[in-house]
Amino acid sequence: MISAVQSISQLQVDSVNVVRRAHYMPLFARLGAYDIEALDTILATPGSPLTEYWAHEASVVSAELVPDLLLWQRRTWIDKSDRFTDEQQELSHRVIEYLAANPGSSAREISSALDVAPVASKEHWGWNWNDTKYVTESLFARAKILTLGRNSQFERRYALAHHVLKKPLEIDELHRNAALERLVARSLEAQGIATAHCVAEYFRLPIRDVKALLAQQAAAGVVEQVQVPEVNEPAYLPLGTKIPRKIEPDLRLISPFDSMVFNRKRLERFFNFEYRIEIYVPEPKRRYGYYVFPMLFGDEFVGRVDLKADRSRSVLHAKSVHFEDGWESQAQQPLLAELERMAQWLRLDSVQVGL
């Protein structure tokens, strides 16, 4: 399980729970049925090789990447510490003191313990943060605090960074270039083949720096530069990449927040597959559905299925299925088999296809 995460470096975290929380799904696509509780235990254990931090978005990441990501992440919309009032600065110190004695606390628990008032207005649909939430998110963005997993309400369980990592978090601006080299290497290894844009987008790295580094590495023989048909810019491979002559058809359902589908432009260029998340699209304007999983069959994307885990009926509901031209006859049975496997993993009794 750990090696599977480290091979792709991140599992994006998202609160949508239509099928299962987003960070659980990519491992099912790669490993099949696995023990979700085991992943939760890993994330809740100090010194774990996995933790949560900002990568493409908020993600489960290889813990060793946190210092490198901290050097290159620029999430100014989250870290508001440079605009903190004196009271918020003082609260930051109190939060750190509290977490030193109470690791694994949520922002809600910290607020209660430190008697921080809730937000006065709750007019915003999703960002009704009080001072504790602003402080903890800013401390998290700067990796002063990290997490010991999440609780049953899907709230981060904060702890001091050195408690989570079991060692001091060492950040050295002098090693900034080395950090970029490591992140570029992990991005390229996770994707297998990628343009400079693909490499940069994976961890939200600055494209200019990534493009310059890849050009240097290609010239030095550190990575292999190749040309992909119909892609009008260079692509790169990790040195020594072995390309299989044949990939056995094995249908997997890729969740909307899987790193395989982070980069829509890459999907269109490399796989000739157009994909958009339609969660925020008004229902009458959706083409394929609310929570749509692309179907990866061998090395081709062959369709989409709009999924919902209807827990009240214990049913995995494939509300709609759309195959790419020419694929329905080949992929229909493998899709049904994969839906049955997923239902069993989710502990649902049956599968329903269609309305």
Domain assignment present for 124:
no
Domain boundary among 238, 266, 292: 238
Domain assignment present for 246:
no
Residue at token pair 């606390």: 105
Whether 135 and 223 map to the same domain: the answer is no
Q: Residue 314's CB: how many other CB atoms inside 10 A? A: 13
Whether 150 and 67 map to the same domain: the answer is yes
Percent helix, strand, coil in the chain, to 5, is 40, 20, 40
**Could you give the C-alpha distances from 318 to 21, 126, 290, in angstroms and in order?**
17, 28, 11
Whether 203 and 57 map to the same domain: the answer is no
Domain boundary among 217, 238, 259: 238
Q: What CATH number did the domain enclosing 191 receive?
A: 1.10.10.10
Whether 269 and 197 map to the same domain: the answer is no
Whether 141 and 13 map to the same domain: the answer is yes
Domain assignment present for 112:
yes
Domain assignment present for 343:
yes
Whether 158 and 187 map to the same domain: the answer is no
How far is residue 270 CA from its own chain's centroid?
21
Task: Count up the domains in the chain and report the number.
Answer: 3
Domain assignment present for 125:
no
SS3 state at 130: coil
Instruction: Quote the CA–CA distance of 155 and 303 in Å, as a whole number.
Output: 34
Domain assignment present for 281:
yes
How much is the pLDDT for 34?
Answer: 97
Domain boundary among 188, 203, 238: 238
SS3 state at 56: coil
Whether 150 and 11 map to the same domain: the answer is yes
User: 342-345 long-range contacts, Cβ below 8 Å, gap at least 24?
Assistant: 342/28, 342/253, 342/316, 343/315, 343/316, 344/33, 345/28, 345/32, 345/33, 345/34
How much is the pLDDT for 180?
Answer: 97
Q: What CATH number did the domain enclosing 332 receive?
A: 3.40.630
SS3 state at 175: helix
Instruction: Quote the CA–CA distance of 273 and 302 in Å, as a whole number.
Output: 8
Whether 66 and 197 map to the same domain: the answer is no
- pTM, 2 dp: 0.92
Instruction: Quote the CA–CA distance of 37 and 178 in Å, as a whole number.
Output: 35
Whether 81 and 108 map to the same domain: the answer is yes
How much is the pLDDT for 126?
Answer: 46
Instruction: Quote the CA–CA distance of 55 and 173 in Å, as a whole number.
Output: 19
Domain assignment present for 56:
yes
Per-residue pLDDT of the chain (355 residues; tens, 9 = 90+): 999 999 999 999 999 999 999 999 999 999 999 999 999 999 999 999 999 999 999 999 999 999 999 999 877 778 888 889 999 999 999 999 999 999 999 999 999 999 898 765 555 444 567 899 999 999 999 999 999 999 999 999 999 999 999 999 988 888 999 999 999 999 999 999 999 999 999 999 999 999 999 999 999 999 999 999 889 999 999 998 888 777 778 999 999 999 999 999 999 999 999 999 999 899 999 999 999 999 999 999 999 999 999 999 999 999 999 999 999 999 999 999 999 999 999 999 999 999 7
Whether 198 and 270 map to the same domain: the answer is no
Whether 291 and 315 map to the same domain: the answer is yes
Instruction: Quote the CA–CA distance of 253 and 305 in Å, as a whole number.
Output: 8
Domain assignment present for 202:
yes
Q: Residue 219's CB: how many other CB atoms inside 10 A? A: 10
Q: Residue 78's CB: how many other CB atoms inside 10 A? A: 15
Whether 13 and 161 map to the same domain: the answer is yes
Range of the domain at 228: 175-238
